[in-house]
Each structure stands twice: as structure tokens, then as C-alpha cells.
Structure 1
Amino acid sequence: MHLYTRSAGEGVPVVLLHAFPLSSAMWLAQREGLSALCKVITPDLRGFGGSVLGDEEPSLDVMADDVARTLDREGVDRAVVGGLSMGGYVTMALCRRHPDRLMGVVLADTKASADPDQARANRERIAAAVVEDGSAVLLEEVLPPLVGRTTAERRAMVYGRVRGLVQSAPPRAVAWAQRAMAARPDSFDTLRGLKVPALVLVGEEDGLTPRGDAEAMVEAVPDGRLAVIEKAGHLSAVEQPEAFNRALAGFIAELAGRAQLGG
């Protein structure tokens, strides 16, 4: 697992897991904007960015175990772990497999429900197409709904950056991740059993995992709070990084305050 870490001090360790089909490069604004507050760890999930895909069968559990090993290598016992979209699915898998490693959970533009049959079939179609024909299907079908209306109409540089990240995704990793996501279980029971606080973020213009999905996750967790990022779509951390960072910084400060009080 290829790793990017940014820190200007000790602070609360925060692990951020990227969206499909991007890489840890999507977290640049978070690494820069939050480094004075916390240790920011942004790994490339297997096959993406600088990481090795390996020979394991597609599974979010495999990715979650990778994250736990990253914590080990960083010498981190417990961290705030969060992810956006696919990264959120991996975070929920980590909640099931390694709950003792968590100080808090961040779920951004993601959902706890499993894929219905039609969505699973579509993931398999895209997996096969990208291996056969390269990034064409990603640019035609996957890219457009990743950003919100405001970004598509007014933020050409942001859209271009996202397009570049999508275009550079390795085909085998894309196929592996699609199959891993298609096989994921419903995670609402996982959220109901969560023992740590959770922050759920959603872009106001997110059409892939809209506000209703975010509200359902907040209702499921015992200690949850919701932040809606205005004028952002599915990639809220990339489209409106300042607002995203403010929400995340507030959550981190809350957790740090609880830790000082022994709560």
C-alpha cells in the first residue's frame, strides 16, 4: 500500500481513504489544510496510485486489512478513519474487522446498503469493459456523475483534475475494485454497533449517494452527526475542500477534547 503522510506535529492521527476510481492524490487539500491539526495518512488502496494490486480475490475486507497494516507501519494504535465513496465502504469493513483501531469514523458521500442486483451487474459490465477497452467507459459513464452541477458548470480546473485522476486509473485495479464493491454486504448492523463517534458528510448535489443515504447512516450510528457540503457533488472533498476541511477539523477537535477529558 503506497502511502502519503503529512504532519506538522503530533495530534490525532487521521486516515483518509480515497474514492473509486481515484487515488490518494484526491486528498491533497486535506493533507495541506489539516496537517497543522493532525497527522494525515492517505494511503493508495490496492492497485491504485503507487500500490500493488496483488493476487487476492476482490474483497473490501482485503482492503480493510491493508489499512490495519498501514496503521501498524505508522506506529498508530488507534486513529480516526474515514473514506469517501469506495473509501467509505472500506471504512465500514474496517469497523467490522478492526473496531479496536478506531477513535472515530468519517463516512463521506457513501452508503451503508448493499448493491441491488442491477447495480452489481452494471459493476461487472464496467469491470469487463475497462479491462478490454481501457478508460473509455470510465470517462463516458463513471466520470460525469462524480461531480456536482456547480463543479461541472463553473469549476473547469477541478473537473479537469478529476478527469485526469479517472483517466490514470489502472484497468486491473478498476475491475478488481468494482467486483469488491459489488460483493459488499449491507453495513447498517455494523453502524448500529459502532462504539465511537461518527461524522457523515454529503455533497448537497451528490446524485450517486444523496442526502437520504447520509441521513440513514446518521440515524443508524449511536453517536453521529451530519454535515452537508454546499455546491458539491459526490467528490465533496475535492469540489469544496475548504468546507469539507472545516467539518472534519471540527470533528477532530471534538474527539481530541473528549480524549483530554478521558471520555
Structure 2
Amino acid sequence: MHYIESGAGTPLVLLHAFPADARMWDQARAGLEEQARVIAPDQRGLGESPLDGSWARSLAEPDDAGRVAGHPSIDAAAADVLELLDRLELPKVVLGGCSMGGYVAMGVLRAAPQRVAGLLLVDTKAVADDDEQRANRLEVADRAEREGTSGWLADSTLPNLLGRTTHEQRPEVVARVRELVEAQPADGVAWAQRAMASRPDSTDVLRAYTGPALVVVGEEDALTPPEHARGLADVLPAGELVTLPGTGHLPPVEAPEEFAAAVRPWLAELG
């Protein structure tokens, strides 16, 4: 599993959104690395991480290897993260995730809550997909395998990934996100969509987590709007909510300084 690491202090693992990779955290990471040891992995099949989870399998027992390499699932992606923590000898971390990264963070919480010292959820949701959403994901996965992803994937995702203000006032951010989307391998895109389509509801997992939790949402997010974020914060026993104006589904990319400024005080409270 490929990852980017910088800074020192509290270990903070940041899991990226779909269809991007760890580079989406680059500018926000710069605002956090004086306070935290920031670790941003590429999830399986995206960025520079292999689709087969090869090194994760080599560290696992045979039965675990079959589970990790099997059918696309958020739990398999979460197992990759836990293997990375073992590899880095980190028994406990603050765990953050944006969008799909939030789903994977909930998967880690489901498998090993004792490894999570604090939870940061960014523009994500706990509920599973409905039938229409699931069908749309599977259609995208099939198309990616048939045609590749050049052009159409960015064209179809960018309108909802970024907020209105970003589309109107931040052309460099739009171009950067398009570049990230275009860089993702078609087989990784297909795997991720199928994994998200099959994910379980994680509401009870969040309800059982009593550790510190921060929910961040872009005020202009059309995919997981602020009312969804309020629901997440209400479910979490120690949940706090921050809404960032002028941003959509990817606040760490759209307004990285503001995002980092919202997270830093919460991290300071964790010590």
C-alpha cells in the first residue's frame, strides 16, 4: 500500500475520497503536519496502491489473505488500513476519511475500534446505498472496465464533487480535481464502486463509538449535504459538527487552509 507521510506528533491517518488518491490531502496536510504525523495512503487499486493488496496479503495468515483478496468490499479496504498500521507499528491512531474514505474509516471502526483514538468524518454518510444508488455504482464499474475512464468519469463526477463557489471562483481547483480523477486506473475505479455498492449500514457502529469525533461538511455539498452531517454528529456520542462555507464534497481540496484550521483545535484537544 502506497502512502504519503509528513509531520510529527499525534498519528493522523487520512483516507481519500473516490475517485481520487492520497494527493487530495496535500494542501490540507501542510496545515496539519506541525501538529500531527499525517499519513495518507492510496486505497486499494487507486493512486499508486496495487489492486491485489499484495503486501497486505503477504503479512496476513492464509485465511485472512483470501478474505483481503476476495470480493470488492469496504471491509477489505479497511483490512488494508489495519495492515498498514501494523506495518508502521501504530497501535492507535486518529482516523479520518472523506466520502469513500469515511466508509473505510467506519469499516476500520467496525473491525477494530480499539485502534481508533479519534474519528474525523468529512462529507460522508453512515447509511448504505439504496437500490438506485447501488445500480448506478455497478453501471459505472462495468463501464470503467469496458471503456476505461478517460473523459467521461471526470465529466460525470465533477459537477457534484465540487461546490458552486469552487466551480465559479476556483478554476485551478476544478482542474486539479479533474487531473486526480483522470489519473485513477479503470480497474481500481471499478473495484471501489463495487465495494461501495455492497457496503453495510454503519449507523450502529458509530453509535457504539464513544471516542472523540469530528464531522466536517461543505455547506454546498450536493452528495452528502449538511443535514446528513448533522445526523452523523447526532449519532456519535461525542460528535462535533463543523460546516465550511463555500465548499462542496471535497473541503480539503476546495479550501485546505480553512479545513486545516477547523481540524487543528479538535486535534489539540486530543493531545
TM-score range for the pair, normalised by the shorter chain length: over 0.9
* Aligned residues of 1:126 and 1:137 also touching (Cα < 8 A): no
Q: Name the SS for the 1:34 alignment partner.
A: coil
* Aligned residues of 1:82 and 1:105 also touching (Cα < 8 A): yes
Shift of 1:143: 2.0
Q: Name the SS for the 1:83 alignment partner.
A: strand
Task: Give the residue type in structure 1 aligned to 2:47.
Answer: G
* Aligned residues of 2:3 and 2:39 also touching (Cα < 8 A): yes
Which TM-score applies when normalising by structure 1? 0.95
* Aligned residues of 1:5 and 1:31 also touching (Cα < 8 A): no
Task: Give the residue type in structure 2 aligned to 1:22.
Answer: A
Task: Give the residue type in structure 2 aligned to 1:88.
Answer: G
Q: Name the SS for the 1:114 alignment partner.
A: coil
Query: How far apart are the structure 2 equivalents of 1:38 and 1:87?
Result: 19
More divergent stretch after superposition (171-180 vs 72-81): 72-81
User: Out of 257, 263, 267, which is 1:242 matched to?
Assistant: 257
Residue number in structure 2 paired with 1:47: 45
Q: Name the SS for the 1:87 alignment partner.
A: helix
Query: How far apart are the structure 1 equivalents of 2:103 and 2:232?
Result: 12
Q: Please state if 1:143 is matched with 2:158.
A: yes
Deviating above 4 A after TM superposition, structure 1's stretches of 4 or more consecutive aligned residues are none
* Aligned residues of 1:45 and 1:51 also touching (Cα < 8 A): yes
Query: How far apart are the structure 2 equivalents of 1:31 and 1:3?
Result: 13
Residue number in structure 1 paired with 2:187: 172
Query: How far apart are the structure 2 equivalents of 1:146 and 1:86?
Result: 12
Task: Give the residue type in structure 1 aligned to 2:3.
Answer: L
Residue number in structure 1 paired with 2:14: 16
Query: How many percent identity over aligned positions?
Result: 48
The gaps in structure 1 that reach 5 residues or longer are: 257-263
Residue number in structure 2 paired with 1:261: none
Residue number in structure 1 paired with 2:125: 111
Two-structure CA RMSD over aligned residues (Å)? 0.9
Query: How far apart are the structure 2 equivalents of 1:67 and 1:248?
Result: 21
Task: Give the residue type in structure 2 aligned to 1:171.
Answer: A
Aligned ranges 1:56-67 → 2 under 5 Å: 56-67=70-81
Query: How far apart are the structure 2 equivalents of 1:189 and 1:80?
Result: 20
Shift of 1:71: 1.0
Aligned ranges 1:25-174 → 2 under 5 Å: 25-54=23-52, 55-135=69-149, 136-174=151-189
Q: Name the SS for the 2:13 alignment partner.
A: strand
Once the two structures are superposed, residues 77-100 of structure 1 have per-residue CA deviations (whole angstroms, 9 ceiling, x without a partner) of: 111001000000000111100111
Query: How far apart are the structure 2 equivalents of 1:24 and 1:204?
Result: 23
Shift of 1:42: 0.2
Q: Name the SS for the 1:244 alignment partner.
A: helix
* Aligned residues of 2:93 and 2:115 also touching (Cα < 8 A): yes
Query: How far apart are the structure 2 equivalents of 1:49 and 1:56?
Result: 20
Residue number in structure 1 paired with 2:6: 6
Task: Give the residue type in structure 2 aligned to 1:146.
Answer: L
User: Out of 205, 209, 224, which is 1:194 matched to?
Assistant: 209
Shift of 1:132: 1.2
Give the aligned length.
254
Q: Name the SS for the 1:47 alignment partner.
A: coil
Shift of 1:144: 1.7
* Aligned residues of 2:98 and 2:123 also touching (Cα < 8 A): yes
* Aligned residues of 2:29 and 2:260 also touching (Cα < 8 A): no
Task: Give the residue type in structure 1 aligned to 2:170.
Answer: R
Query: How far apart are the structure 2 equivalents of 1:212 and 1:66?
Result: 31
Aligned ranges 1:214-229 → 2 under 5 Å: 214-229=229-244
Which TM-score applies when normalising by structure 2? 0.92
